[in-house]
Structure 1
Amino acid sequence: MITVHHLQNSRSQRVLWLLEELGLPYEVKRYERDAQTLLAPPELFKVHPLGKSPVITDEGLTVAESGAIIEYLMDRHAEGVLRPAGGTPERLHYTYWLHYAEGSLMPLLVMTLVFRRIPLSPMPFFVKPIAKALCQKVAATFLKPQIERHLKFIEQHLAQHEWFAGSVLTAADVQMSFPVEAALARGAKPGQYPKMESWLKRVQAREAYQRALATGGPYEIL
């Protein structure tokens, strides 16, 4: 039995979605974030040395990292579904977006979250204006332009493809779901990226996605 070590409001939500799309049996072990730090609880260190989620355990194996989990599940449990055939243009798109999600887009989104939270953290009163000004400068001159460049890139791709790897849903869409949700939730104006919004609506309307939400519990982008 596959066990998903599922952290509240985290990227492990898409692992649940993939399992639902594949129709695989699984169980969920839930972990709550620390209310102050929003970090994972110490219990996750018992599952994996880095103490982070997502992590799955399956037949004595422990697999961490979203991309590695997806590749493991596709190799071990998928039978010709949710992954294009090797040697095709669609497979190249699939591989690219599977790695792009965490390798290129998510670091920028995480940095944005961190720099938004720094001025809200406890610190001496005389330091707070400096910290706030520094964070705003980084956001305005580096993070915002970079993220906008990436979102325009994604929008252009989805203007030419119904799904990230082509004309059908694949596990690359599962991998891209979290960063797209996060990007649209963190400042994108309604209607600014219509292709991304349309794609996300189709994702969220899928029965497997809805079942994953019901199983994983309340979910919101931090």
Structure 2
Amino acid sequence: MLKVYGFAVSNYFNMVKHALLYKGVEFEEVLTFPGMDPAYNDKSPMGKVPCIETEHGCLAETSVILNYIEAAYPARPLLPADQWQRAKVSELMKMAELYFELPGRRLFPEVLAGQTVSADIKAEVHETISKGCQALAILGKPAPYLFGETMTMADVVLRYCMLTCKLATGAVYQWDVLAEVPGLRAWDDLMASADISKQLDKAMQEGMGAFLEAVRAKA
């Protein structure tokens, strides 16, 4: 059986888990925190989560894993058959990570650990996310999903990238980024209402204690 290494608080882990649950793929979860076990590097060379273990071996990096899942488990596709439309979905997935998830994480020292983030970093992050909102308004036009009536991998990835972004921007700037893109709030509500999203959100809340304990133990 497919094994998925990671932890419930990880957005990247949840992207993979959401795709697998949507496709109805059976898998085993292996609780793993990054950088805690040197032996894990044999499976994920950079020690990152998620990682999957297949009959062929292990595979790391979320975007690579998602592409493998789509190819290996084609039932209930999350990528269009048309190559151009598939590329457009991949384009939005990459932009979600670069302009929402990763900038938001730069604010986490202040949001989660009480450390001060410099004004320069805050200004840079705000500018990056603002540009991301402008790009998203061009690329994704929810109807009700980003590319029409059918959910794609872009919806899954953006959903978890936005969790990071909303948490960070709300805490630091008191900024509602959903208001920046037409239709994004309705899309966000739609994604959150899905049974899979509710399941993963619940697991995230329940797993926060173990995650914080692991972080304190590492420190």
Number of the residue aligned with 2:149 = 167
Number of the residue aligned with 2:14 = 13
| Mapped partners of 1:74, 1:169: distance in 2 | 13
Aligned length: 201
Q: Following TM superposition, by how much is the alpha carbon of 1:215 offset from its aligned partner in structure 2, in angstroms? A: 6.0
Question: 1:9–1:145: structure 2 CA closer, same or farther, 3 Å change rule?
Answer: same
Alignment of 1:117-196 (within 5 A): 120=115, 132=116, 135-140=118-123, 142-159=124-141, 161-188=143-170, 189-190=175-176, 192-193=179-180, 195-196=183-184
TM-score (norm 1): 0.75
1 or 2, which has the higher helix percentage?
Answer: 2
3-state DSSP of counterpart to 1:13:
helix
Flag structure 1 segments of 5+ consecutive residues without an equivalent: 33-38, 121-131
State whether residues 115 and 135 of structure 1, in contact with CA within 8 Å, keep that contact through their aligned partners in structure 2. no
State whether residues 2 and 28 of structure 2, in contact with CA within 8 Å, keep that contact through their aligned partners in structure 1. yes
Q: Following TM superposition, by how much is the alpha carbon of 1:195 offset from its aligned partner in structure 2, in angstroms? A: 2.6
State whether residues 20 and 209 of structure 1, in contact with CA within 8 Å, keep that contact through their aligned partners in structure 2. no
3-state DSSP of counterpart to 1:100:
helix
| Mapped partners of 1:214, 1:9: distance in 2 | 10
| Mapped partners of 1:219, 1:176: distance in 2 | 22
Question: 1:216–1:147: structure 2 CA closer, same or farther, 3 Å change rule?
Answer: closer
| Mapped partners of 1:104, 1:214: distance in 2 | 26
Number of the residue aligned with 1:204 = 192
Flag structure 2 segments of 5+ consecutive residues without an equivalent: 213-219
TM-score (norm 2): 0.76
CA distances 1:23-65 after superposition (whole Å, capped 9, x unpaired): 0001101135xxxxxx642254353221110111111421111
Matched AA of 2:17: L
Question: 1:116–1:181: structure 2 CA closer, same or farther, 3 Å change rule?
Answer: closer
Pairwise CA RMSD: 3.0
Q: Following TM superposition, by how much is the alpha carbon of 1:146 offset from its aligned partner in structure 2, in angstroms? A: 1.6
Question: 1:158–1:102: structure 2 CA closer, same or farther, 3 Å change rule?
Answer: closer
